[in-house]
Structure 1
Amino acid sequence: MTSILKSTVVALAAMTTTMTTAASAESYNANHFFAERHSMVRGPYVEFAKKVAEETNGEIDFTVFSAGSLLPPASSLQGVRDGVAQVTYHAGTYTPSELPIDNLIGNMAFYNTDPLVMAFASTEFGLTNAEQQAEWKANGVVYGGGYSTSEYFMQCNTPIRTLEDMQGKRLRMAGGAWSRFAEFAGAVPVSIPSSEMYTGLDAGSLDCAVAAADALDSFSLKDVVTDMNTLAIGNYYAGFEWGYNVPFWQSITPENRRVLFNEMAYYLGEHRIAFDKDVEEAVQSAKDGGMTVVDPDETLTNALAEFVVADEATLISTAKERGVADPEAILTAFKAIIDKWDGLLADVDTTDVDALAALARSEIYDKIDETTYGVN
């Protein structure tokens, strides 16, 4: 065989190998119902997908669908179970009957309102608590990791300064404990998706949207909000930032599961830093446009404190009605994890993504066995 012929054969063989490898790589669906510009999508989904593809040599290639283009909010749990998406974000309050334990801990949003603490604590709980793990499994999802919004504030088209100002006001709430607080304070809770907050405020069917303040930009609320009260009405972390389809998870190699663990650890911290930065920029932009920002007066802070104490009994009774056997024990376990993370994060630079990722790996993800998690 001539040297030219040999070279041709080798080149053809290499081309065939490359084509075979490319053909064997599969593209998977990643779903989020927030827009791509949102901090919970930009890093944890768009960048995450790119890094996962790189680290797995293209064996896991996610196509990111945002803004509900693949699955609407209420269908994300069913969609990942049925394989419409291989990974998805899910807001737990859309499925209280299917996820009673998740909703129990998700309604503990007033126990500690530090978003970073709650993102890390809810992630550890979701990955390690036996009862919660059984709930994920029963719903056909492999839990990957959590998140937390920034603190929820009242963003209004009318001034809210005191508890009296809240009487009869129509407040968009995230359901659950948030709605109960509105009623406790004499307001009227309105349960609508975040995508409808702008329309409600603009049309006058809402007086306030209670949400993280990045919504001033990400949902354009600065165009219809004139006043914001900084009473910290909890923060939202129910459900999961990454929930995986079971057949998908079990089909990938343990090495690739470890890649996913490492990247989730990184973006658990990254999205929190990005989220708070977005809040800061959105609030400043809205203030520059004329929005008034006020701190809560004593009547509001006292009302919230009274509600937090009174509502735990409601959390427990509601969980029991939904079939949770021992909600008191679950809340005790979750509080212990929250308190643990309150201490751990006090000793780390919370503006350093790499430091947060290292802590998430050492305290959570490195303790999980990628050969058995989600498989057995």
Structure 2
Amino acid sequence: MMKLRRCLALLAFAAVFMSGPGYAKSLRFASGYPPNSVAEQAAQKYTQVLKDETDGALSARVFSLTLLNLLESSAGVRDGMADAAVVLFPYFPGEYPRINMLAEISMLLNAGGEDPAHAGLIFTGAFSEFLFQSCPGCQKELAAQNQVFLGSGSTPTLPLLCTTPIREAKDLTGKRVRTSGAQWARWVEKMGATPITMSVNEIYEGLNQGVVDCTVQTTTELSIFKLDEVVTDITLGVPGGVFGGSGVNNMNRDTWRGLSDAERRAVLKASAVFSAEASWGYDALGAENLAAAKENGITVHQAGETFRVETQAFIDKDVETIAENYRTRHGVENAAELIDAFRPLLQRWQDLVDGVESPEQLAQLYWREVFSKVDPARYGM
């Protein structure tokens, strides 16, 4: 197996440095998302910025659903099947425990009892900054998978998409709710409902046939998976949190080390754009879908005061549960300390994101505050 990996890495190295006229370098980027999706469009922006920053000396080719799927991405980048890819860390709990723990505490965004505006943009900035600058254990997890982290991306906040009105916690009693993470499943149980696990492709039929009453889902999925055809009610303000456990451009470490300092800096500059475009794209689509839902007769509720207070009490307690789970199950002995160190970044980024009005401004913000501070001569080396 080690010989196979070494051979694949050498082939990847050769592919990077012996492609195109005059041996211009070309990176193979694997996307597990379909063409014309938000993630795919962000990847295309990345390739253009990379080309512009290096005057064409370094480029990237995006392979959508043809080189690696999302379940293959981590091992595929590790073994050199692709030079880089989108890696969704929660798909690989054993490989990235510290990183996944940070992703699991995204409901802390709701501190204060309500969703902040642009929650995904906030979490992307905080998560990227922490992994780059303040989590050596996270970097060890990445190194063990022969990867270099080059930025994150996040969804908008997660409300309840339902086939019945939900305004207070008592309205959830006895309901069946599809969840996409352990923290949301625990919240559902605390509110007196039953968490249900099903793939995202099954949610439409699940709601349509009454198998589930609600799904904890971003409003982006209203159009992507046509859930706007079966959802009748949306409840904002609970449970909150975002899906932010992603590496939008995880790169094979051998490939990264084969680049010059200037080329690595260009990759970082392009990755800041990638993170911004992906997060902004999901945020904008979520807002667009919510507005369309209101126009098309879907009833939008704000969670009641008691519901939000009960949710906040759950979040405060669940942070302790998360830390203990990762300490006992995954050996993250400093779990509580990591969470305490990460918390202040959420408020910092809420302040920083306030007033940002375009993906271009967001990319400049990410670059100034995070990516430009990464030393290309030392990082990942």
Q: For the superposition of Structure 1 and Structure 2, which TM-score range results when normalised by the shorter chain?
A: 0.7 to 0.9
Change (3 A) 1:201 1:85: farther
Quote the Cα distance in structure 1 between the aligned partners of 2:20 and 2:60.
17
Whether the aligned pair in 2 keeps the contact of 1:93 and 1:176 (CA below 8 Å) is: no
Within the candidate set 37, 57, 61, 1:63 is matched to 61
Whether 2:212 is the aligned partner of 1:206: answer yes
1:248 is aligned to: 255
SS state of the match for residue 234, structure 1?
Answer: coil
2:341 is aligned to: 333
Quote the Cα distance in structure 2 between the aligned partners of 1:69 and 1:223.
30
2:369 is aligned to: 363
Amino acid at match of 2:136: A
Within the candidate set 269, 279, 288, 2:286 is matched to 279
Gaps (5+ residues) in structure 2? 1-17, 111-118
Change (3 A) 1:318 1:240: same
Quote the Cα distance in structure 1 between the aligned partners of 2:249 and 2:362.
18
Amino acid at match of 1:333: A
1:11 is aligned to: none
1:209-248 matched pairs, under 5 angstroms = 209-232=215-238, 233-248=240-255
SS state of the match for residue 37, structure 1?
Answer: coil
Whether the aligned pair in 2 keeps the contact of 1:30 and 1:63 (CA below 8 Å) is: yes
Gaps (5+ residues) in structure 1? 1-18
Whether 2:320 is the aligned partner of 1:323: answer no
1:144 is aligned to: 150
Whether the aligned pair in 2 keeps the contact of 1:153 and 1:210 (CA below 8 Å) is: yes
SS state of the match for residue 212, structure 1?
Answer: coil
- 1:30 Cα offset (Å): 1.9
2:3 is aligned to: none
- 1:26 Cα offset (Å): 4.9
Change (3 A) 1:74 1:344: same
Quote the Cα distance in structure 2 between the aligned partners of 1:290 and 1:339.
35
Whether the aligned pair in 1 keeps the contact of 2:19 and 2:26 (CA below 8 Å) is: no
Quote the Cα distance in structure 1 between the aligned partners of 2:19 and 2:269.
28
The list of structure 1 runs, each at least 4 consecutive aligned residues, that deviate by more than 6 angstroms after superposition, is none
Max Rg structure: 1
Amino acid at match of 1:165: D
Whether the aligned pair in 2 keeps the contact of 1:102 and 1:239 (CA below 8 Å) is: no
1:46 is aligned to: 44
SS state of the match for residue 189, structure 1?
Answer: strand
1:14 is aligned to: none
Cα RMSD (Å): 2.2
- 1:23 Cα offset (Å): 6.2
Within the candidate set 121, 124, 131, 1:126 is matched to 131
Deviates more, 1:188-197 or 1:122-131: 188-197
What are the Cα deviations for residues 329-371 of structure 1, in whole angstroms up to 9, with x where unaligned?
A: 111111132233233334xx31143433333222212221112
2:121 is aligned to: 116
Amino acid at match of 1:137: A
Whether 2:81 is the aligned partner of 1:80: answer no
Quote the Cα distance in structure 2 between the aligned partners of 1:201 and 1:65.
33
Quote the Cα distance in structure 1 between the aligned partners of 2:52 and 2:364.
20
Quote the Cα distance in structure 2 between the aligned partners of 1:199 and 1:260.
41
Amino acid at match of 1:91: L
SS state of the match for residue 201, structure 1?
Answer: helix
- 1:21 Cα offset (Å): 5.3
Quote the Cα distance in structure 2 between the aligned partners of 1:275 and 1:289.
21
- 1:75 Cα offset (Å): 2.7
Amino acid at match of 1:61: S
Change (3 A) 1:329 1:187: same
> What TM-score does the superposition give when structure 1 sets the normalisation length?
0.86
Deviates more, 1:323-332 or 1:53-62: 53-62
Deviates more, 1:293-302 or 1:26-35: 26-35
Whether the aligned pair in 1 keeps the contact of 2:294 and 2:300 (CA below 8 Å) is: yes
Amino acid at match of 1:254: D
2:7 is aligned to: none
The aligned length equals: 353
Within the candidate set 299, 307, 331, 1:300 is matched to 307
SS state of the match for residue 149, structure 1?
Answer: coil
Quote the Cα distance in structure 1 between the aligned partners of 2:366 and 2:58.
23
Whether 2:308 is the aligned partner of 1:310: answer no
Amino acid at match of 2:86: Y
Quote the Cα distance in structure 2 between the aligned partners of 1:27 and 1:266.
19
Whether the aligned pair in 2 keeps the contact of 1:37 and 1:218 (CA below 8 Å) is: no
Amino acid at match of 1:237: G
Change (3 A) 1:90 1:194: farther
- 1:204 Cα offset (Å): 3.2
